Amino acid sequence: MSFKICSIGCGGMAQAGHGPAFRKYAQMNPDIKLAACCDIDAARAEKFRSEFGFARSYTEWEEMIRQEKPDAVSLIVPVTLTEKLTIQMLRRKIPVILEKPPGMNREQTLRMADEAQRTETPNQVAFNRRYMPIIRRFAQLRQGRTANLWQYDFFRVNRRDQDFSTTCIHGIDTVRFLAGCSYRQVKFTYHPIADAEDWVADIILDCEFRDGAAGRIIFSPMTGIVAERCTMHGTNQLISCTLPYHGSTKPADGPGRILLAQNGRILLEETTPAEEEDFVSNGFYGENAAFFDCIRAGGRPDGDILSGLQSVEIADCIRHRKALYEAVL
Ligand SMILES: NC(=O)c1ccc[n+]([C@@H]2O[C@H](COP(=O)([O-])OP(=O)(O)OC[C@H]3O[C@@H](n4cnc5c(N)ncnc54)[C@H](O)[C@@H]3O)[C@@H](O)[C@H]2O)c1
């Protein structure tokens, strides 16, 4: 029995992260058929097909679904289309993995989650950082340690997006994932950036978690380096991690690094192996493999749409330049 995968959207993220992950997954699992990919841009769809080993390419997703009858679909489309296409897949009872954000706001996320529940269709949101090997290692080291304070630095170069919140959601979600509990409250401050458009800002989140820990997340879209760094401070101990963000043309931190320190001494220090491919160290392989493995085994993926709800709500506050988020009880 073969397992047929179709993919919709063959743009930047599909080419850099998901395409190489699909190819590797198919190489490692002989029953996997990369049946077809689709993009409204025919040349882009065809390039993606030939580069990553899909059998056919389409420009119309409905026709692709009708012809191919996939066992699972991956959605890597513009954020404005994610809700609509997710609901279309769920209505057809096709298991779906969707790029973040899982909705632009609470209402969209709940509509998708309700449809998934009504149709009993498995789904997963592709928050790739949750599947980065270094973040998994962080989660493992964090077990049994009490966090007092979380810090996350999220730096980009020349990002002038009108809506940077759909990128900020990564930092919000990663801290929540590592904290292992939800936010109780977030206070936001927005600082203008000199010589940038008036919608571009450094954004600071001062957070309180339900377990009593505090947190500070800094988003700086126009600084000197592309980097993400996360630290958990406990009492006289710390876990600190540099994410393996490989910018091809921009200065970046380079390989990922994690360290555990206690009472002023470094107890453990690890670096992302040099041979690890970028799409593996960046979590794209892990998220896709976890989803497809789970569907093939007849299970329910861990990180479903609903698991992203609070991250969506907090990102939506940034979009609307809110000063305060308080969790709904
Ligand atoms: N995980 C991450 O780190 C990360 C980073 C960037 C973007 N993303 C997410 O990936 C998704 C795609 O972003 P991107 O940067 O690749 O955008 P992109 O614009 O480069 O690619 C989107 C592609 O979808 C195609 N498309 C549009 N409408 C379509 C339709 N109706 N049917 C089929 N194809 C259609 C476009 O032609 C384009 O090729 C977004 O959800 C974004 O939030 C994730």
pLDDT tens by residue, 139-167: 999 999 999 999 999 999 999 999 999 99
Asked if residue 319 and residue 293 are part of one domain, the reply reads no
* Number of domains the chain contains: 2
180 and 90 in one domain? no
Residues linked to residue 126 through DSSP beta bridges, in sequence order: 99
pLDDT digits (tens, 9 = 90+) for 15-44: 999 999 999 999 999 999 999 999 999 999
Spatial separation of the C-alpha atoms in residues 217 and 174, rounded to whole Å: 11
16 lines ligand 1 (CB under 6 A): no
Q: What is the CATH number of the domain that holds 216?
A: 3.30.360.10
Q: Which of 18, 38, 96, 99 to mutate to test the pocket of ligand 1 (most atoms within 8 A of CB)?
A: 99
* 108 C-alpha to ligand 1 centroid (Å): 18
Provide φ and ψ at 231, rounded to 5°.
-135, 135
Dig out the tokens for 134 from the structure. Answer: 């270094």
Q: Which of 6, 7, 10, 13 to mutate to test the pocket of ligand 1 (most atoms within 8 A of CB)?
A: 13
Q: What is the pLDDT of residue 247?
A: 54
Distance from Cα 212 to the centre of ligand 1, integer Å: 37
The mean pLDDT of 83-95, rounded to a whole number, is: 98
55 or 244: which carries more pLDDT confidence? 55
10 φ, ψ (degrees, to nearest 5): -120, 35
3 or 224, which is more confident: 3
| Tens-place pLDDT, residues 114-145 | 999 999 999 999 999 999 999 999 999 999 99
On whether both 180 and 67 belong to a single domain, the answer is no
Kindly state whether residues 11 and 42 are assigned to the same domain.
Answer: yes
Q: Residue 268 half-sphere exposure, CB side, CA atoms within 13 Å?
A: 13
Cα–Cα distance list, 73 to 97, 114, 195 (Å): 6, 19, 43
Mean pLDDT (the chain, rounded): 96
Edge to edge, the sheet with strand 123-126 lists 56-58, 32-38, 3-8, 72-75, 96-99, 123-126
Same domain, 115 and 239: no
Q: From ligand 1's centre to the CA of 316, what distance in Å?
A: 19
Name the band, by pLDDT with cuts 50, 70 and 90, for residue 236: very high
- Both 63 and 86 in one domain: the answer is yes
- Atom from ligand 1 closest to the CA of residue 79: 41
In angstroms, rounded to a whole number, what is the distance separating the alpha carbons of residues 100 and 227?
Answer: 19
- Ligand 1 atom nearest residue 10's Cα: 39
Place of tokens 């390419």: 57
Q: Which residues contact 70 (CB under 8 A, 6 or more apart)?
A: 4, 5, 6, 35, 36, 94
My answer on whether 59 and 184 are in the same domain is no
List pLDDT tens digits, range 175-215. Answer: 999 999 999 999 999 999 999 999 999 999 999 999 999 99
Q: Which residues pair with 33 in a beta bridge?
A: 4
Q: Do residues 179 and 215 make contact, with C-beta atoms less than 8 angstroms apart?
A: yes
Instruction: Indicate if 183 and 91 belong to the same structural domain.
Output: no
Range of the domain at 220: 130-277+313-326
Are 119 and 216 in the same domain?
no
Whether residues 86 and 152 share a domain: the answer is no
Q: Is the CB of 100 under 6 A from ligand 1?
A: yes
The CA distance from 187 to 169, in Å, is 15
